[in-house]
Amino acid sequence: MHSDRRADPAPGGSSTETPDAVGDTTPRTHLPLAAAIVLVHAWCGTQLEASGLRGLFIKGPALAQQGLRPDRISSDVDILACPDDFDDICALLRESGWMPRPSAYAGDFYDDHSITFVHEEWPCDIDVHRRYPGFLADPGIVFERLWADRVALTFAHVECWTCDRPANALIMALHGLRGASDGSRHQRELAHLLEEVTLAEDERQRLSDVAAATGATLSADGYLGPLGLPPSRELHAPVDPNALRAWHLRLSAKDTPVWVWLDAYRQARGVRRVQIIARALWPSRNDLEMDATRPTATVGQRLRVRMARLSGGIPAAVRLLVRSRSGGRATPPHGGVGRPRGANGPERGLSEPTAG
């Protein structure tokens, strides 16, 4: 641990000042979001380096720099932390005035892989990931494999560590696959990755290798399969069968939140299962106020939202269970027809490991 470490103040803030209300995330600065994203990358990268902590910047502007997606303004900064450094990185952010964003009850399950931090003087968030969904190998193995091929990109004149181009393409694909409902931004970005991004031959080999080594061959099949990659030169990492089932459940659910409750119930035991069912069927007032897209100020309004949740949620849960048990998976955005750029090999080039 780094108990004697003190972080430098966050840009625009003070390490000794903590927001009075964590839930008040209204920006106190007029700094444009695009500028804030770049500056927070630079500040975080400097702090991690100075503190001897390891983290990789993923998603965000790094993808545009590497030609994996069109340039657009991100809303947050994503850091994949070394599992051994996760707690220290979170402590570093807290010392600098960044506080965890409050979440509803379901958020404890959905966000178990990351913590979102907000700062009262900054318009962007920082997401610190202890693991990344879709990498089904041990998080420590995953991080070390990605760290081994890290590259430096420059943000606001500061060099920051990120994944190499094949690994970032894989992360982008995993992100797109778990949110690829019809017409969504995730689907469009995944289609762009398949149809418009060209990987050099050595990058195709490295993509095959990193997918095998991180347990992502099966979870990223909707992206890797159509590419016709060469066989991996590395051994396939062991995959947790429960993690693979949870991933397929997530893909079957598309953008509906029902999968969060079903997966939480599947993992829970005893009285915890009863609590999960109760909160799923009859959410608290706090949950409604944080999540609802409709008014919840009065008793009658909250009752209507709860009844609508019951009438829609139960059938959705049944449909999801049927799909997941029948082996339903998300369909690649290109619909399984045509060939993406860089697909020079056979239709299926990756050997598939067995879970377990």
The arithmetic mean of pLDDT across residues 89-102, rounded, is 94
> Can you give the residue ranges of every domain in the chain?
255-325
Residue 324 reports pLDDT greater than 70: no
Residue 208 reports pLDDT greater than 90: yes
Asked whether 170 and 210 are in contact (CB, 8 A), the reply is: yes
Q: What is the pLDDT of residue 283?
A: 76
What is the rounded distance in angstroms from the CA atom of residue 274 to the CA atom of residue 220? 33
Q: Residue 191 CB: number of other CB atoms within 10 A? A: 17
Residue 126 reports pLDDT greater than 80: yes
Q: Higher confidence at residue 189 or residue 324?
A: 189
Residue 192 reports pLDDT greater than 70: yes
Residue-averaged pLDDT of the chain: 79
Residue 254 reports pLDDT greater than 70: no
Residue 97 reports pLDDT greater than 90: yes
Q: What is the pLDDT of residue 135?
A: 96
Write out the two tokens for 160. 């920051």
DSSP bridge pairs for 261: none
The arithmetic mean of pLDDT across residues 249-268, rounded, is 69
Radius of gyration of the chain (CA): 21
Residue 3 reports pLDDT greater than 80: no
Task: Please write the tens of the pLDDT for every residue from 129-170.
Answer: 999 999 999 999 999 999 999 999 999 999 999 999 999 999
Instruction: For the chain, give the secondary structure using H, E and C.
Output: CCCCCCCCCCCCCCCCCCCCCCCCCCCCCCCCHHHHHHHHHHHHHHHHHHHCCCEEEECCHHHHHCCCCCCCCCCEEEEEECHHHHHHHHHHHHHCCCEECCCCCCHHHHCCCEEEEECCCCCCEEEEECCCCCCCCCHHHHHHHHHHCCEEEEECCEEEEECCHHHHHHHHHHHHHCCCCCCCHHHHHHHHHHHCCCCCHHHHHHHHHHHHHCCCCCCCHHHHHHHCCCCCCCCCCCCCHHHHHHHHHHHHHCCCCHHHHHHHHHHCCCHHHHHHHHHHHCCCHHHHHHHCCCCCCCHHHHHHHHHHHHHHHHHHHHHHHHHHHCCCCCCCCCCCCCCCCCCCCCCCCCCCCCCC
Note if the pTM is more than 0.85.
no
Q: What is the pLDDT of residue 250?
A: 76
Residue 212 reports pLDDT greater than 80: yes
The arithmetic mean of pLDDT across residues 299-313, rounded, is 74
Asked whether 329 and 223 are in contact (CB, 8 A), the reply is: no
Angle at 254 between CA 248 and CA 255, to 5 degrees: 135
Q: What is the pLDDT of residue 325?
A: 57
Q: How confident is the model at residue 173 (pLDDT cuts 50, 70, 90)?
A: very high
What is the rounded distance in angstroms from the CA atom of residue 297 to the CA atom of residue 160? 45
